[in-house]
C-alpha cells in the first residue's frame, strides 16, 4: 500500500524544487507569504506554552512541527468555506482569520473563545476525538443542498482514523458526494501510542479505498505540496465530484499537551534530529536563500510584527475578567432543568455566589 500511496513532495527539505509539475507555485510573493504565516503561528504556539507554564492559561495543545500542514491547507480555502478543527489546529484557524485573542480565551476557559469573526464558518475545536468529521460531512452536504459553491475541511490526527466517527463521516460523504476535504495530519503518535500500535494499515490514505474516495499521501512538512493538493481537493469538491482524503505525513516536536511528558514514550533526541532535517520553516527559509529572496531585515521585521501581534492578543485576553465556571450549566438545554439549576447553585455557593430563591 505504501507503493500505491507514495508521499507527494514538491519542495525538498533542502529547499530545492524537485517536482516536474506546479512550478508556477514557486513565486517570491507566495514563498514569503508562506514563511510569514508559519512564523506567525509558531510564535503564537511558543508564547502559549510559556503562558501555560506561568499559569496564565490552562492546559494547551502545541502544534510546533505541523505549521506547513496547517498554513498550506488554510490558505487554500475560500472565505465562505467551513473549517472544522481539532484542539491542535488553532494554527489553521489563525491563518484562516480567527481572532488570536479569542483563541487564547478558549485556552483560558472562556466560551467567547469559540466565537469566530463575523461571517466566518469556523467550528469550535473538536475535543472528543473525530467527532468533527461527521459534522464537516453534514455541513458540506448542506452547502450542496443549498446550491452554493462552498466546501468544508475537517482536520484530524492519525488516532482519529481508528474511531467510528471517521468511518461514518467518510461513508456519508462518499454516498452523497459531499464537498468536503478530510485532512489528516499524521504526526506519528495518537497521544502516546505510535501509529504502528494503533493501526495495522501501512498508510491512512488507503482507508479511503473502502469508501471509493480519492486519496493522496503528501509531505505534510512541505507547505507547497499541502497547498497544492488541498487546492486540488477543493476544486474536486466544488465541481461536484465529492470528497477527498489527504494524509499529510508530519511530526509534532513537543508533547501531546502541556499535561503530557513525551520523554516517557518517545526519544526526544530523534525529535531534535527530525527538526534539523525536515522543519517546515527551515525548508522555506532555505528555498528563499537558494532563490535569493532571503532578506535578514525583512525576517527581523516580520518577527517583530508577529511578536507584537501575539503580545497584543495576550494583553486583550488578560483584560477579560476571570471565567465564570457556572456557565457550563447554561447551554445544556434551551431552558434550564431543576437539577441543573440546583447544581449551578451548589457551584455558586462554593465560589462565593449568592443563593437563588425558590429552588424547590
Question: What are the catalytic residues?
Answer: 252, 256, 265
Between CA 229 and CA 295 the distance in angstroms is: 29
End-to-end CA distance of the chain: 64
Whether 33 contacts 305, CB under 8 Å: no
Q: Is 193 exposed, middle or buried (0-12, 13-18, 19+ CB in 10 A)?
A: middle
All cell numbers assigned to 163:
474511531
Between CA 137 and CA 27 the distance in angstroms is: 34
Residues 6+ apart with CB under 8 A from 61: 87, 88, 256, 257, 258
* CA proximity to 213, closest of 237, 196, 235: 237
All cell numbers assigned to 212:
471509493
Between CA 358 and CA 100 the distance in angstroms is: 42
Q: Which alpha helices (H) appear in 64-131, and where do they start and end?
A: 67-75, 90-96, 100-107
Strands 189-190 vs 193-194: parallel, antiparallel or unpaired: antiparallel
* CA proximity to 72, closest of 280, 278, 292, 256: 280
The beta strands (E) that lie in the chain are given as 7-8, 82-84, 121-122, 152-157, 180-186, 189-190, 193-194, 215-219, 244-249
All cell numbers assigned to 7:
508521499
Amino acid at each position: 500500500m505504501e507503493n500505491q500511496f507514495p508521499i507527494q513532495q514538491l519542495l525538498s527539505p533542502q529547499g530545492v524544487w524537485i517536482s516536474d509539475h506546479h512550478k508556477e507555485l514557486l513565486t517570491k510573493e507566495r514563498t514569503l507569504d508562506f514563511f510569514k504565516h508559519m512564523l506567525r503561528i509558531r510564535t503564537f504556539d511558543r508564547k502559549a506554552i510559556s503562558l501555560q507554564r506561568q499559569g496564565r492559561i490552562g492546559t494547551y495543545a502545541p502544534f510546533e512541527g505541523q505549521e506547513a500542514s496547517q498554513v498550506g491547507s488554510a490558505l487554500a480555502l475560500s472565505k465562505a468555506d467551513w473549517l472544522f478543527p481539532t484542539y491542535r489546529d488553532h494554527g489553521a484557524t489563525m491563518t484562516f482569520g480567527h481572532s488570536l485573542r479569542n483563541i487564547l480565551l478558549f485556552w483560558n476557559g472562556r466560551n467567547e473563545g469559540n466565537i469566530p469573526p463575523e461571517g466566518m464558518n469556523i467550528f469550535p475545536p473538536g475535543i472528543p476525538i473525530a467527532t468533527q468529521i461527521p459534522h464537516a460531512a453534514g455541513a458540506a452536504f448542506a452547502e450542496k443542498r443549498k446550491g452554493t459553491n462552498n466546501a468544508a475541511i475537517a482536520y484530524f490526527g492519525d488516532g482519529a482514523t481508528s474511531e467510528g466517527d471517521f468511518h461514518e463521516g467518510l461513508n456519508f460523504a462518499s454516498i452523497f458526494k459531499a464537498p468536503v476535504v478530510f485532512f489528516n495530519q499524521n504526526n506519528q503518535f495518537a497521544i502516546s501510542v505510535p501509529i504502528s500500535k494503533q493501526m495495522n494499515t501501512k498508510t491512512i490514505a488507503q482507508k479511503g479505498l473502502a469508501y471509493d474516495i480519492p486519496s493522496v499521501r503528501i509531505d505534510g512538512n512541505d507547505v507547497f505540496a499541502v497547498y497544492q493538493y488541498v487546492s486540488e481537493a477543493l476544486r474536486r469538491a466544488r465541481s461536484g465530484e465529492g470528497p477527498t482524503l489527504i494524509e499529510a505525513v508530519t511530526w509534532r516536536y513537543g508533547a501531546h499537551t502541556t499535561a503530557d511528558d513525551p520523554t516517557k514514550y518517545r526519544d526526544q533526541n530523534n525529535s531534535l534530529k527530525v527538526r534539523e532535517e525536515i522543519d517546515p520553516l527551515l525548508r522555506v527559509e532555505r528555498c528563499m536563500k537558494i532563490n535569493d529572496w532571503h532578506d535578514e531585515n525583512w525576517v527581523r521585521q516580520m518577527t517583530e510584527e508577529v511578536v507584537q501581534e501575539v503580545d497584543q492578543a495576550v494583553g486583550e485576553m488578560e483584560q477579560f475578567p476571570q471565567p465564570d465556571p457556572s456557565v457550563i450549566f447554561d447551554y445544556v438545554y434551551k431552558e434550564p432543568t431543576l437539577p441543573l439549576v440546583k447544581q449551578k447553585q451548589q457551584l455558586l455557593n462554593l465560589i462565593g455566589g449568592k443563593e437563588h430563591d425558590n429552588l424547590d
